[in-house]
A and B are shown apart, each in its own frame.
Chain A
Amino acid sequence: MLDTGMDLDDISRLLVWTAVAIYALAFIAYAIDLGRRSDLAVQGKDAAVKREAVAVGVSAGAASAGHATPVGGIDEVRAQEAAAQADLEAPLGARKRYLWARIGTSLTWLGFLFHVGGDVLRGIAAGRVPWSNMYEFALTGTMLIVAVYLVVLFRYDLRFLGTFITGLVVVLLGGTVIWFYTAVLPLADPLKSVWLVIHVFVASLSTALFALAFALSVLQLMQSRREHFAIAAVGAGAAGSGAGSERRGLRFLRTLPSADVLESLAYRFTIIGFIFWTFTLIAGSIWANDAWGRYWGFDTKEVWTFVIWVLYAGYIHARATRGWRGTRSAWLSIVGFAAVMFNFTIVNMFFKGLHVYSGLE
């Protein structure tokens, strides 16, 4: 080994800091992408209008003229959304070649490699799985958030979530390294269990899925608001007032699929996360029964795990309840993820209980 005066853990931290920096760059690239893709959408629309005008000119008065829609009305919103849905589900090779999104994704991959390197080195330095105190858990948890995002990208073009994912990870990971860092210590006896590997890992995996679902639910609400204004504009009668609806909501929303599509995608991530969370609960109970002599004791962490489970159970129910599908269920998904973050940060740091493995003073 090179005589750098650094041990594995120091190198691990260096890699993690590098990852944070690269993620920050990815965040910027993704943010530029969101800013620019709305312009692209506008240009695309203009081009389409021109094409249509040409077509109309050629086949003078052909039936296609009937396709003309009021500019900015709900029909146009729907058309944009249908196109966006096709983009969302397009296979890898047929995706829109948004330049800045591609830079963002490439940087995310690069940051992820450093992140994995840092995480693995920490594990080697500690001689065990790298998720047995708060620092390590945050390290691995954020890594899984990025991993799930990158894996999902193969299936859906969710690069519009890039800003959220990289932003979240920069904040969590940066905060982790600054505030939660703890030196490698021998494992406390209760943590020497196979369940540490399973229970904690699966818990962070579901956190990652809930994070994606949260972001989609937020976008769903924004898109739903935009659709609502567009419909209201049509209701108001004048086609001209439709132009006003264009200014409602952020412009990049034009490149996103409909609220319904965002919702069903959020739902799909949530149910996978919910399965993992249920498993986390069961595995945790089995472990608690071995370690503490009871499978359930309303320890603070157990309470919050339960609360989160019930919230997401409520979300899944809401999706199947008339009057609750859509906006209301989206709020439940947001509240659920807020509880997940609360459980990870506030409960770990300030609540008294048996899950005292944060390693923080």
Chain B
Amino acid sequence: MSSSRSSSAPVEGTLRPADHADSAAPEPGDDRITQPQLGVIGWIRWGWRQLTSMRTALVLLLLLAVAAVPGSIVPQRSADPNGVSQYRVDNPDLFPVLDSLQLFDVYTSAWFSAIYILLFISLIGCVIPRTKHHWKALRARPPRTPARLSRLDDHVETVVALGEGEDAGVAAAAAIDLAQVQLRKAGYRVERYDGRGAVSVSAERGYLRETGNLVFHASLVGVLLAVGIGGGLTYTGQTVIVEGDSFANSLGLGYTSFNPGRFVDTEALSPYALTLDSFDVTYTPVGEAGQGQAGSFAANLTVREPGQEARAGVVRVNHPLEIGGDRVYLMGNGYAPTVTVRDPDGNVVFREDVEFLPSDTTMTSQGVIKVTDGLSDQLGLVGFFYPTAADLPSGALTSVFPDLMNPVMTLRVYAGDLGIDDGTPRNVYALDPTGMTQIAGPDAESPSLELEPGQTVDLPNGMGTITFEDATESGADEVVKRYVSLSVHRDVGAPWVLTFAVLALGGLLAALFVPRRRLWVKAVPVDDNAAGGAGGRAGALRIEYAGLARGEDPAIAVAVADLARDHGAAMGRNAATGQNATTGQNATNTTKVD
């Protein structure tokens, strides 16, 4: 790179983009020289250099930050699909415009992807040559000692008087030997450069800084790849289990919804089955702060895997259950009243645990019952369940506490065609009353049906009876059964993402906090006149200490001063002349010596 331009500075030890602040500044007029005569290859090279420059990386980083923001303002299909539907209802005119800009899928949009893909190309284009260069640097010896150490910013000089009859050359070599040992002990890589008239040691440390930098950036690529590839091998599925019921991990049998990644073999899911034995929850009692707040959720499961004995497993919030490489999460819970419908002759035409969806924190819940066969008409029932029912002033019911203190179910009844015979897919949790007649409820002659557990009432028009079963009679713990909604995940990428993320953090620590620096110690014999020495025939040694920071290094001056102090002390000679020398421009550094 541009290292050749800096004549006096030592050879670059780190290959950086040309516009890195620590690279040598381009000489004025440089651009003019390279601009003409760009062939196709030249343009490609130019483009590549632009893309991998620091400035481009920086602009892309800032663009990435800005581009991520809309996704927090506009609801996203991935995180909040209901919010998107609501947005469409609320802003019918704006919605298509935003949708065409992919603002509801920001993080998979073409423009967001373009930014991060360019950023990563830029990153890779920067990291690969730097890795090669660093690999070489790791095996290279510290560079030759600069001819004039005094030109470096961090520089300390001492003059040591020699004893009577002492050979200056031998003393110089001994002093540098000592410095070499000290530097090596301090973790520096050292190299001797002994030449005419001067003996010196060149030392470098902090290769870990660049290693960390490269590890950090490479790990980011690793994170991206793990997310991308892992996503293709990941699946998530949702299921609902009522107390006493079971779930089989098979696409056809168990799931209410299933989202496989591109490479998932849906025929080869881990074969296991789960039974919900019971669901525990505690509610903050009435009269305490946070009354009615639910907590300590626990789904007590029996896990059956082929060739193994059944075992107990518990799913809690923050504590998913691991089974055969899958993780099972507790996503929600609710009540599933057991309802029986009989025809006028008393034959059971419907008997199910109906899952009611809670709509508030007091577990007022809504559910739908569809009786397709066995009665004179198809019946659709829209039910409300109040675990602790109380009358509102309006006469309507409400739930005042989420636990089963006074459970009541009310039902509106519709008769007619449920519209499920023609094969149209219908949501089991919703009833479309089109083409049906309300025969019990606010719009009908009969009021809504109201039942407590164990109670049976007649359906209107003598169609039969409906019973809200007391679940304890069939062995359940409570009068109304509970259900849990579970989410089953397999994410083979996640451990890799974590590994790379931790590597990135480690790399970052090294890249930001390990100082990379070079130190030199040079001993030059000087004749007694120049040294102003201790008189007689004795000569003197001028010992120079200098340092060069490679990148951010707030402690470089201190490091040079410490080196001078420790080396001087080890030589035991500093009393002769002290450490007061050096010239004007370095005065601020020398002041730190003492």
Contact = CB atoms under 8 A, between A and B. Distances in A.
Interface of A: 82, 183-190, 192-193, 264, 267-268, 271, 274-275, 278-279, 281-282, 285-287, 289-300, 303-304, 306-307, 310-311, 313-314, 316-325, 332, 347, 351-354
B55 to A, nearest CB: 6
A311 B317 contact: no
B427 interface: no
Given A192-B317, A293-B327, A275 B505 contact: yes
Nearest to A82: B588
Given A193-B318, A352-B83, A297 B293 contact: no
The 10 closest A-B pairs by CB, nearest first: A185-B290, A189-B317, A321-B54, A310-B65, A303-B72, A293-B329, A314-B61, A300-B72, A271-B512, A322-B19
Interface residues of B, number: 63
B79 A297 contact: yes
Given A303-B71, A311-B65, A318-B58, 5 more contacts: A184-B289, A190-B317, A271-B512, A291-B317, A306-B68
B505 A279 contact: yes
Given A278-B508, A290-B319, A321-B21, A299 B58 contact: no
B501 A314 contact: no
Contacts of B487: 293
A163 to B, nearest CB: 25
Contacts, number: 149
Given A189-B295, A293-B331, A314 B58 contact: yes
B491 A324 contact: no
Interface string B62-101: 1011001101110110111001000000000000000000
A293 B62 contact: no
Contact of A189 (B65, B83, B296, B494): B296
Interface string B503-529: 011001100110000000000000000
Contact of A285 (B317, B318, B501): B501
A316 B552 CA distance: 11
A291 B293 contact: no
Max chain B Cβ within 10 angstroms of own Cβ: one of A291, A306, A322, A325: A322
Contact of A321 (B20, B25, B294, B329): B20
Contacts of A297: 78-79
B554 interface: yes
Given A188-B293, A291-B318, A323-B19, A303 B236 contact: no
B255 to A, nearest CB: 15
B509 A275 contact: yes
Interface of B: 19-23, 25, 54-55, 57-58, 61-62, 64-65, 68-69, 71-73, 75-76, 78-80, 83, 106-107, 227, 236, 284, 289-290, 293-297, 316-320, 327, 329, 331, 487, 489, 491, 494, 497-498, 501-502, 504-505, 508-509, 512-513, 551-552, 554, 588
29 contacts: A82-B588, A185-B289, A186-B295, A192-B318, A271-B513, A278-B504, A281-B501, A282-B501, A282-B502, A285-B498, A290-B319, A292-B329, A297-B78, A298-B76, A298-B107, A303-B72, A307-B69, A310-B61, A314-B61, A317-B57, A320-B21, A320-B22, A320-B551, A321-B21, A321-B55, A324-B55, A352-B75, A353-B79, A354-B79
A21 B55 CA distance: 47
B284 A186 contact: yes
B509 to A, nearest CB: 6
Given A183-B289, A189-B297, A317-B54, A293 B501 contact: no
Nearest to A295: B494
B55 A323 contact: yes
A299 B71 CA distance: 9
A12 to B, nearest CB: 15
Nearest to B17: A321
B21 A186 contact: no
Contacts of B320: 290, 293
Contacts of A291: 317-318
A279 B83 CA distance: 30
A322 B317 contact: no
Contacts of B236: 293-294
A188 B58 contact: no
Contacts of B512: 271, 274-275, 316
B53 to A, nearest CB: 8
B295 A188 contact: yes
A303 B68 contact: yes
Contacts of B58: 314, 317-318, 321, 324
Max chain B Cβ within 10 angstroms of own Cβ: one of A185, A189, A285, A307: A189
B492 to A, nearest CB: 13
Contacts of A190: 317-318
A328 to B, nearest CB: 9
A275 B295 CA distance: 34
B552 A267 contact: yes
Contact of B498 (A286, A311, A320): A286
Contact of A351 (B72, B297, B319, B501): B72
Max chain B Cβ within 10 angstroms of own Cβ: one of A264, A320, A324: A320
Contacts of B73: 351
Nearest to B509: A275
B424 to A, nearest CB: 31
A293 B508 CA distance: 28
Contacts of B20: 320-322
B504 A294 contact: no
Contacts of B319: 290
Contact of B79 (A289, A299, A324): A299
Contacts of A82: 588
A109 B566 CA distance: 39
Nearest to B552: A267
Contact of A294 (B62, B289, B489, B505): B489
A352 to B, nearest CB: 7
Contacts of B289: 183-186
A187 B489 contact: no
B318 A189 contact: yes
Given A189-B296, A285-B501, A291-B318, A264 B554 contact: yes
A286 B494 CA distance: 9
A347 B72 contact: yes
A199 B494 CA distance: 19
Nearest to A321: B54
Contact of B19 (A188, A287, A321, A354): A321
Contact of B21 (A278, A290, A293, A325): A325
A279 B502 CA distance: 9
B68 A310 contact: yes
Max chain B Cβ within 10 angstroms of own Cβ: one of A268, A295, A303, A311: A303
A187 B502 contact: no
Nearest to A343: B72
